[in-house]
Amino acid sequence: MPARAVDNSQSGRLVLLCLAAWILPGAGHLWLGRRTTGLILLVALPLMFAIGLGVEGRLFPFTLSEPLVCLAAIADLGIGVPYFVASGLGLGAGRVLAATYEYGNAFLIAAGLLNLLVVVDAYDIALGRK
C-alpha cells in the first residue's frame, strides 16, 4: 500500500497527537476514538510504572558518561507524566539491596518503552496504516 502524503495541517495534528500520546499513556488512542484500547493503556501502563516504583526500582539519572544508564533514563522518561510526578515527589531512588530492585527497574523501563510503542501505534492509526 503506498504511503499517503501528509499536508501541513495534518502534520501539526500528528505532532499534537504524538505529544498527547507520550504525555498521558492511552491519550492518543482515546483521541482517535479507540476508547477500549485507550482506557486499558491509561490504566495498565501507569500501573506497571507504579509497581516498578513500589518494588523499589530506580528512576535512572541522565548520566552521559555512562551510556547504558543514560539509555535507561530515556526509557524511564518514555512513560510521560507519571515519570514527572514520581520525580517531583522524590520517588524512584531505588534500593539496591532490595530483593526486588532489578524487577522494579525492569517494570519502570518496560513501562516507558511500551508507552513509546503505543505512541508509534497511535501515529500509524492516525495515518491509516492500521
The percent of residues in the chain predicted with pLDDT above 90, rounded, is 91
Q: Average pLDDT in the 47-59 region?
A: 98
For the chain, count helices (H), then strands (E): 6, 0
What residue type is assigned to position 64 of the chain?
Answer: L
Strand spans (E) along the chain: none
Q: Within 10 A of 31 (CB to CB), how many other CB atoms are there?
A: 17
Residue 1 makes CB contacts below 8 A (sequence gap 6+) with 129
pLDDT in tens, 25-52: 999 999 999 999 999 999 999 999 999 9
> What DSSP designation does 25 have?
T
Please state the pTM of the whole predicted model: 0.91
The per-residue pLDDT for 9 is: 75
Confidence at 2, pLDDT banded by 50, 70, 90: low
